[in-house]
Structure 1
């Protein structure tokens, strides 16, 4: 943390140096200087009672107020307990169980109001509002950074995403992490850091935000609720030097880069407003096919691997040392070894303090991830084979996704092809039944599986909501229309033909899901070309490619007067649909 505090001592009173730049919904930029933010942090610290445990919760969105809260606790040497974005009331209660106060911006106050009957806060815990304008007006003087360099637990974070378990992040561990990153990166790499993953996420808590501060730089906050598709337009305006890439962001950048190339424009200028490409780093796990597509368009994305138990990054690809398909070499402050069972083990100066009873007893952090380290020191994460065999049970994650989509879309017409996992039609039909409307039509080429599926749906009471057709690929052109949701769960070589056969039954807004290992290069090229679909992968189970139809489907050929062949389709229910 020395690098951060050195910059704060030097620039705290600089009224011309921007620390936070917020783009409003109308596109105007609101700039907050180091002086404004740090003086507000001083005012907040003066009105805060951290209590005997010196632990204070932070419940803030992606706002300038979140930065004020972090700097206030840093100056007081008080442990911050930020609640990560999307946390449930139960997770928030576990993270805030022993805090003496909670700092909350407008978003945080709204969450606490929504959780009023959930006992999220300890009894008698005060909530201190964080309002930048009010704090600036009340600022008593300049920001003060303590001179001592003692180690202390500066943050308490979830042990893993969605976990109620906690780890204590040491200030010296953050310092070692920052020093290792800065040694590998060009000077000023984070001078203008675009906030494309939440400020409360691990990647910002221990890396991007302190890296921007250590560079004397500025955090660039996008308009609230900006969709991923609008990201390239925003980044072209704010000209970032560093940008976290997520799967939706990668998909948007790929589409924008292809458009720029077709129009003869330079990709860096079109996407980032700069002559060169900024430092693109993985803000979360991004599938390798997306990373390869980015690289092919001149957009290298630096993938790494990290976890809270190691205070962030274990390994990272860097501009000086990058190998596709890996998560880079271990950083200089990290020791990494492969255990007897292939598990990645981590030790070194970055280890966090376990606040539970499951801390490492042998000096190694057991990551639970299988990996290999090649002769050049690059770490390869070993993924389980995502291929599923016909008839395998549907994974719970995919089942919840299918059910949730039918419920949220209130889909009237759902079409599924093949269904290699038993249970996909069940989840789709259950969603229709819960809605009280809608119908699912499944095309299953195998006669035995079609019969088994009908029997299962009947036994579950779902037959009125689903129709199972013993039908092949060529029958998809006679599926009901318009299709609201299409599921392609078939052999990889059939995904593109199935999509093509269904396109005549689609409408603008039709959602297409291709599950697991099914999507292939030609299929991805079709849905990601930006012409007819908006498409992105979801890291759910073995993977899902989600595509939204943007244009009307081609008109289907005229139907034969004889209609569908009656010997080729059988159903558990009859329903009048538009042909």
Structure 2
């Protein structure tokens, strides 16, 4: 916060310096200066301070991508009041959970429309004041210049949805935000956020914690696109507004890739065609952009710096930066962040950025001082973090997502698989679904290779409790045991660390037949594994957008002559053979 407030103290009254630029559909722009925005924030702050009994303690923010959203943020900063922003796309029940303890809510035109649409499902607590945010009206009634408090107190400045679910919340402390911004700015080129093109909603985590403050710290401007601009029109808009920083979404990456290819075919410089600049701006994204898209961008001269963030750690853990970037990773931990890998491959996070849980069931730092993220990861020798799963991963004993579970069950049923082999450290949820499919078929064998002895025992117990033990064998076995798996394998499931995915595939290949289906879950199949299954020689392979993602590969060539055994007998009493009626 210090860098932001230093700029505001010196430049709040700058009437010629743009802070927010809103592009209209006809291409014209409405520019709001630092003076316009901060004076409106002063007026809004005065309004909030006058609310009974002694001003609002926690304030909800229900704003769209508008200058009013920036006004709301600066008003709360000056008051040292906790803001509770509602993320884009939130449903009425989610909004109600997030706003359950606010005494007022700030709403721009979009926010007021949402409250009207939710009239049949009230989202505000009893007595909550709705304060409209209209920049022009607030500027007209401003009593003076924006005031930045002199104190450096630490307070919960924002309450955000936890990564584990929107109804759980975490409190972000002001000093943690300050450390986070200082760490990011130390890694960034000077003036990187002088013109930050806002292509993701202002209410998302990235902008709540970093993008708006970074733009102000660089004495910069937030550039907002026309409402409802299609992704295909994004390159044309960015070329017109000439950004220095741009957040990239998956559809945005696809649009930029297409525009870059067109520019190359036509012999035009890619940076000028896409951004109206001689060089490429700072392109950044989170883990939602798949690595294959990032590699395509990089090949076209558009390096995108991927990061990994959690609300529980004030929005960021690591980031690929211009000075140190490694494709296929989410970068090195920021300077104020400590990371290590737990015994089961879980990413543990510590440091000054840890948030405070404000929900009884919400995530928090454990008694050991580490945030247990539930995300599986690997850290290489140079300190770069490679996520095995970008989403909150399953802990031991948790079921798979419903979509993945239905996929596994359906494949076993449709294939009438005689032999299914899995390799994974947390395969119990997988084995339950696969064994259920075998039981429904009345035939088949499922063999799970679980390297951890404790998990193997727990998985056996869960299968027994579900009545599925006759259909699945759990082996406490490592990678080297896959070469002794039953054969031929009809279906193989790989759900392991990224560095083990290709070795596991190689170990199983001698047990496969033409037509064997191999599933690799999550983001584990990267790099050499994808090169192997997508080369067109031995496999047909494609990504399937189910759950965290599945790479589905079909074996084309025989690796060895593997005889097929007789069908496995059905456990339990024999089924009587139907007798002819004699008619």
| 1:312 positional shift | 1.2
Instruction: Encode CA deviations 1:436-458: one digit per residue, 9 max, x unaligned.
Output: xxxxxxxxxxxxx9xx9xxxxxx
Count of aligned pairs between the two proteins: 429
Map of 1:364 onto structure 2:
370
Map of 2:8 onto structure 1:
8
Q: Secondary structure at the match of 1:295?
A: helix
Taking the aligned partners of 2:547 and 2:369, their CA distance within structure 1 comes to 32
With structure 2 as the length reference, what TM-score do the two structures score? 0.68
Taking the aligned partners of 1:112 and 1:523, their CA distance within structure 2 comes to 50
Taking the aligned partners of 2:344 and 2:405, their CA distance within structure 1 comes to 31
Q: CA 1:354–1:13 in 2, change beyond 3 Å: closer, same or farther?
A: same
Taking the aligned partners of 2:30 and 2:149, their CA distance within structure 1 comes to 30
What does 1:107-256 correspond to in 2, within 5 Å? 107-160=110-163, 162-256=165-259
Map of 1:43 onto structure 2:
43
CA contact (8 A) 1:154 1:168 kept: yes
Instruction: Encode CA deviations 1:208-233: one digit per residue, 9 max, x unaligned.
Output: 11111111100010110111111101
CA contact (8 A) 1:39 1:141 kept: yes
Instruction: Encode CA deviations 1:258-294: one digit per residue, 9 max, x unaligned.
Output: 0000000000000000000000000452111000000
With structure 1 as the length reference, what TM-score do the two structures score? 0.69
Q: Secondary structure at the match of 1:270?
A: helix
CA contact (8 A) 2:286 2:308 kept: no
Q: Secondary structure at the match of 1:293?
A: helix
CA contact (8 A) 1:55 1:99 kept: yes
Q: 1:542 aligns with which of 522, 525, 549?
A: 549
CA contact (8 A) 1:517 1:542 kept: no
Map of 2:289 onto structure 1:
286
Taking the aligned partners of 2:413 and 2:113, their CA distance within structure 1 comes to 42
Taking the aligned partners of 1:110 and 1:544, their CA distance within structure 2 comes to 41
Matched, 1:277 2:280: yes
Gaps of 5+ in 2: 391-398, 416-437, 442-513, 516-523, 536-542, 553-583
Q: CA 1:189–1:32 in 2, change beyond 3 Å: closer, same or farther?
A: same
Taking the aligned partners of 2:222 and 2:89, their CA distance within structure 1 comes to 21
What does 1:378-527 correspond to in 2, within 5 Å? 378-383=384-389, 396-397=402-403, 420=411
Instruction: Encode CA deviations 1:1-45: one digit per residue, 9 max, x unaligned.
Output: 000000111110001100000111121111100000000111111
Map of 1:22 onto structure 2:
22
Range with greater deviation from structure 2 (51-60 or 309-318) = 51-60
Taking the aligned partners of 1:295 and 1:420, their CA distance within structure 2 comes to 36
Taking the aligned partners of 2:128 and 2:153, their CA distance within structure 1 comes to 28
Q: CA 1:338–1:149 in 2, change beyond 3 Å: closer, same or farther?
A: same
Q: Secondary structure at the match of 1:188?
A: coil
Taking the aligned partners of 1:41 and 1:423, their CA distance within structure 2 comes to 61
| 1:541 positional shift | 3.6
| 1:544 positional shift | 9.5
CA contact (8 A) 2:403 2:546 kept: no
Taking the aligned partners of 2:59 and 2:389, their CA distance within structure 1 comes to 38
Taking the aligned partners of 1:315 and 1:91, their CA distance within structure 2 comes to 28
Q: 1:91 aligns with which of 91, 94, 119?
A: 94
CA contact (8 A) 1:318 1:328 kept: yes
Taking the aligned partners of 1:70 and 1:383, their CA distance within structure 2 comes to 33
What does 1:258-337 correspond to in 2, within 5 Å? 258-337=261-340
Matched, 1:376 2:394: no
Taking the aligned partners of 1:395 and 1:71, their CA distance within structure 2 comes to 40
Q: 1:346 aligns with which of 345, 349, 353?
A: 349
Taking the aligned partners of 1:423 and 1:219, their CA distance within structure 2 comes to 53
CA contact (8 A) 1:314 1:346 kept: yes
Taking the aligned partners of 1:331 and 1:113, their CA distance within structure 2 comes to 42
Taking the aligned partners of 1:233 and 1:220, their CA distance within structure 2 comes to 14
Q: Secondary structure at the match of 1:48?
A: helix
Instruction: Encode CA deviations 1:287-342: one digit per residue, 9 max, x unaligned.
Output: 11000000000000001111000001111111111111111111000011111111
Q: Secondary structure at the match of 1:148?
A: coil
Q: Secondary structure at the match of 2:274?
A: helix
Taking the aligned partners of 1:19 and 1:215, their CA distance within structure 2 comes to 11
CA contact (8 A) 2:404 2:546 kept: no
Instruction: Encode CA deviations 1:523-546: one digit per residue, 9 max, x unaligned.
Output: 999xxxxxxxxxx9968541599x
| 1:205 positional shift | 0.6
Q: Secondary structure at the match of 1:57?
A: strand
Gaps of 5+ in 1: 385-392, 403-418, 425-448, 453-492, 495-515, 526-535, 546-579
| 1:186 positional shift | 0.4
Q: Secondary structure at the match of 1:276?
A: coil
Instruction: Please tell me the root mean square deviation across aligned C-alpha atoms, in Å.
Output: 3.3
Q: Secondary structure at the match of 2:233?
A: helix
CA contact (8 A) 1:87 1:162 kept: no
Taking the aligned partners of 1:423 and 1:152, their CA distance within structure 2 comes to 57
Taking the aligned partners of 1:107 and 1:161, their CA distance within structure 2 comes to 27
Taking the aligned partners of 1:75 and 1:212, their CA distance within structure 2 comes to 17
Q: Secondary structure at the match of 2:41?
A: helix
Map of 1:457 onto structure 2:
none
Q: Secondary structure at the match of 1:47?
A: helix
Range with greater deviation from structure 2 (157-166 or 81-90) = 157-166
| 1:420 positional shift | 5.0
CA contact (8 A) 2:330 2:384 kept: yes
